[in-house]
Amino acid sequence: MEKNQEQRHKNLPVNKVEDVEFSRELADQEDLEALERAEKADRRQQESE
């Protein structure tokens, strides 16, 4: 990541809850894998608090 991009990334707000529609009926394998990764990341974050 370039320094400029890195600085912008650091300035982004961090939220656990995002307003995103998700439908398991429409989800493909990549969506399900991303959901699993997100849930694992949320658990790690909660454990570190």
What's the total number of domains in the chain? 1
pLDDT for 4 equals 65
pLDDT for 38 equals 92
In a domain, residue 45? The reply is yes
In a domain, residue 1? The reply is no
pLDDT for 21 equals 82
pLDDT for 45 equals 92
pLDDT for 37 equals 95
Residue 9 has pLDDT above 80, yes or no: no
Q: Give 11-43 pLDDT, tens digit per residue.
A: 776 666 767 788 989 999 999 999 999 999 999
Q: Are 34 and 20 in contact (CB under 8 A)?
A: no
In a domain, residue 49? The reply is yes
pTM to 2 decimal places = 0.53
